[in-house]
Amino acid sequence: MACTVCATNVQIDDSNTKAGWAKQLGVDESSIRRHLKHAARVTNTDEQRDSTEESSDGTRAVTAIRDRPVTLEDARAWISSTGDNPDDYTLSIRAIAYGVDQFSNRMSATPKRKRETAADESPVVFQSILDDVRGFTYIPQPIAYDNTSAIIMPADLQVGKVDWNGSTRDTVAQALNSFHEFAAYVKESRPQEIHIVDAGDPIENVFNTSSQLGTNDLDLPHQIATASHIFLEGIKLLAPLAPVVGFKAIPSNHGAFRVGPKSPGGDAHADFGIVIAEMLRSSLTLNRAAFGHVTVQTPEPYQESLYFETSGSAIGVVHGHQAGGPDKLGTWWQGQSHGNMPVAKARILLAGHWHSLRVYQSGDGRWVIIGPASDRGSSWFTNLKGEQSKSGMLAFTTADNSWSDLRIL
């Protein structure tokens, strides 16, 4: 039977309801419905190859061969082409690639209905739920990040050390708390990049002084394992919070591999802090979906410092034991610039070793920032000088060689 609506040569679209079109053309609404189904079957040669099916409960499905995966918008257009409202259906899609630029796409539509009783449960409904789960596509909303970088600097954890402010257990608790406070901060500030800068001495070691074997509460292997755990927990906590995340590590005096008290056992990279960084690098490759955007950086072979750029800031990192005192670190930096060493181009130099916060300018307005320690204090120094400093991790925000929001966490 000829289609009475086709004979009018009027294009039926969403600008009117089916009832409205019927009244306008002088036909009944069923004619409009038949026309829409007829038009959906003949508008595209690809669609003539589609395989359709419909269940008694109104659930529909179509298998379509296309040169691309279908989208939820395609599924909505498919339902609209039949004269129905896509909002009245739960839609799902699934695409399987085969051959070259060929996809077998399945679109399904289940009518939305209010569940009256438990008797409504049926294998058909359950299958549609499975289809919804398997075909679900999450489209995240765009997130605006601030064009800044957030830096946290764990320095001088000296895991294994026992002093008047506690033991390794206290060091671990404080370090993890520092990472959590930093995470809360970056959730609010939304920096483009996050960098964890291990400024050295992650472990106490056993051969820096003759007393360490008697005063430590962890042997060397377990110091390394505990420090690795702390840093990995920090990375796991911060990785979801920015599109770029970095971990930096440099050699240090407590991190150095030694064969006896103050007796080096290798070059600058014979260092347990560097080993921990390499262990972290390997661990992160086990889950690229979660940590594919996380990088690990250590100095070039035989070097004790490193350089990186972030949000327009040029940053250098060194432990600090290379200088004769915290105020001499600027002088050491000048020599590194003359020797064209890694930190020569830096405008901000980060260091640890001296266990107290110190910030000053050097040369042509460059910044030296020395972070506090996360260890349990140094009673020998306090007994000698009568001074002690706040323990924790230094954190700040940087962009274009400036810094702000400096804090100890």
Q: What is the C-alpha separation between 270 and 65, in angstroms, rounded?
A: 59
Helix or strand holding residue 166 (H, E): none
Name which of 249, 159, 241 is nearest 196 in CA terms.
249
Q: End of a domain among 103, 136, 169?
A: 136
Please report, as a single letter, which amino acid is at residue 32. I
Task: Phi first, then psi: give them for residue 364, nearest 5 degrees.
Answer: -90, 50
pLDDT at 119: 46
Residues 26, 129, single domain; the answer is no
Residues 33, 175, single domain; the answer is no
Rg (CA), the chain: 33
Beta strands in 224-379 (DSSP E): 244-249, 258-260, 263-264, 294-297, 306-310, 313-317, 348-351, 358-362, 366-370
Task: Name the stretches of the chain with pLDDT < 50.
Answer: 41-48, 114-122
Residues 88, 186, single domain; the answer is no
Partners of residue 62 on adjacent β-strands: 52, 107
Residues 59, 33, single domain; the answer is no
Count up the domains in the chain and report the number: 3
Residues 170, 309, single domain; the answer is yes
pLDDT at 276: 96
Answer for the pair 352, 373: CB distance below 8 angstroms, yes or no.
yes
What is the sign of the dihedral through the CA atoms of 88, 89, 90 and 92? negative
pLDDT at 118: 45
Residues 129, 219, single domain; the answer is no
Name which of 61, 110, 56, 107 is nearest 87 in CA terms.
110
Residues 76, 154, single domain; the answer is no
Q: Is residue 404 part of a domain?
A: yes
pLDDT at 120: 47
pTM > 0.75: yes or no: no
pLDDT at 196: 98
Task: Phi first, then psi: give them for residue 297, nearest 5 degrees.
Answer: -125, 135
Residues 217, 261, single domain; the answer is yes
Q: In which domain, by residue range, is 25 found?
A: 1-43
In sequence order, what are the residues at sequence separation of 6 or more whose Cβ sits closer than 8 angstroms to the Cβ of residue 170?
376
Q: What is the C-alpha separation between 128 and 119, in angstroms, rounded?
A: 16
Q: Is residue 117 part of a domain?
A: no
Q: What is the C-alpha separation between 115 and 121, in angstroms, rounded?
A: 9
187 φψ region: left (φ > 0), alpha (ψ -120 to 50), beta (else) = alpha
pLDDT at 116: 44
